[in-house]
Amino acid sequence: MNSSQTKPVTILIVTLLIAGAAIAALVFLQPSSSEYYVEVVGSNGVSQNVTLAEMMMMDSVSGNSSYQNTYGNVRGVGVYKGVKISDLVNLVGGMDDGYVVRIVAEDGYSHTFEKSKAYPNLTIWNLQGDMILAYEYDGLTMPEYENGFRLAFIPEDGYYSNADANATTEPDPSAAGPQWVSNVIRIEVLENLYNSTYSVSETFLRTLSNVTGEGGYKKSSGDIIGPFNFTGVAFSILLEQFTLVPDDYILIARSSDGQTGEYTKAIVEGDVNGYTPLGDPLDSINSTMILAYEQDGSPIVDGGPLKIAFLNEDGNLSDGFRWAKGVVSITILELSGTTSLLSDVSDSHLEHWIVNDSYISIKEDHETIVRSE
């Protein structure tokens, strides 16, 4: 096992093969099974890169499965094969109570689960089966299996429904499909993310310095939405309202319907890929991530009253899956260490933030854009 801390990347090897004694040809090879890997990070920061070849030598789980998406449709029907998430986590010291496991995709999408999902008791297992990292689907192994490494659940009845997801996941998710993270590059064990969650009041936001600008996004279908004119609070200002902000973090945005969006520090600071106004891809655009409460000069009705939006002064577009609607709470999760983030917040400060017990809204078209067929 490779204990390097290096960020996973996909590498295309160009190899020169000499056939026979006199004939030579340039052949482009796909990476071998030893060159595909997932980084697994323990709660103590220990990191281990586990290759596809190494996974194929571990105990495997295989079986028929499928999932239900937000619209109630069944997707992903087929036979999956992979290794248990718990077996991968055990390689870096396992997982104690009070911790969660975060699954991160190559495109930056991530989903976080309680310990009981990765280490299910019999009651949970009877509904969801094993939680695995699949490297094979219907006999196709990576790279032919283009969604691998993929988080999957293998229940005995071959169907991971929305009801199964709700019964085994706390708090209830909107659907089972968003949990099936594709093209996973990183698995990490973190302190429980629900210990420092603060609700967001529109009234309180309007007391902070605001920003106004244009923002729009491109859907996976190619449709361009906007740009619209938004007014709200930049996250750089919003984070100043927290007493302690860790050096490295993710923000968890949640909705009353259980959907979840996660944002790294880099994204919060505006480092995102995007598109020109005509929809051509760009590696990087200069964005301002805001919590908006007005659209085109009026309170937000569709997806309001609060929405995560990305402003771009140059007219460029961001990915639609990064936007979030109906925002009602935000969680700060430290990525390194287990220090309590907000332990010294005063009661008077809390009165500004805790307005209800519901959570936040995600990417309205997340399944269509990010994960689901």
CB atoms within 10 A of CB 97: 9
Q: pLDDT tens, 24-65?
A: 333 334 455 558 999 999 988 889 999 999 999 999 999 999
267 lies in the same domain as 120:
no
Residue 30 confidence (pLDDT): 46
- Secondary structure string (H, E, C) spanning 284-300: EEECEEEEEEEECCEEC
In a domain, 93, yes or no: yes
Q: What is the pLDDT of residue 199?
A: 65
Task: Say which CATH number the domain at 120 has.
Answer: 3.90.420.10
pLDDT digits (tens, 9 = 90+) for 225-257: 989 999 999 998 888 876 567 778 888 887 655
In angstroms, the CA 116 to CA 101 distance is 10
In the chain, the percentage of residues whose pLDDT exceeds 90 is 42
- Six token digits for residue 312: 């771009």
Residue 15: predicted pLDDT: 26
Q: Give the domain range for residue 51.
A: 13-191
Residue 1 lies in a domain: no
The DSSP symbol for 219 reads: -
Is residue 13's pLDDT more than 90? Answer: no
Is 2 part of a structural domain of the chain? no
Predicted pLDDT at 227: 92
Identify which of 50, 32, 29 has the alpha carbon closest to the alpha carbon of residue 41. Answer: 50
- Torsion region of 139: left, alpha or beta (phi above 0 gives left; psi -120 to 50 gives alpha): left
**What amino acid occupies position 24?**
A
| The model scores a pTM over 0.85 | no
Given 191, 218, 245, the domain boundary residue is 191
Q: Which helix (H) or strand (E) covers residue 254, if one does?
A: strand 249-254
**Residue that terminates a domain, selected from 191, 208, 235:** 191
User: Where residue 80 falls among pLDDT bands split at 50, 70, 90?
Assistant: very high
Same domain flag for 260 and 199: yes
pLDDT at 6 over 90: no
CB 62 within 8 Å of CB 80: yes
The H or E element containing residue 56 is: helix 52-56
The verdict on residue 257 lying in a domain is yes
The C-alpha atoms of residue 366 and residue 371 are separated, in whole angstroms, by 7
Q: Can you tell me the mean pLDDT for 116-126?
A: 95
**Which among 252, 254, 289 has a CA at the least distance from the CA of 271?**
289
Specify whether 205 is located in the same domain as 145.
no
Specify if 304 maps to a domain.
yes
> Do 321 and 178 sit in the same domain of this protein?
no
**Averaged pLDDT of the chain:** 77
Same domain, 186 and 331: no
* Same-domain pairing of 183 and 208: no
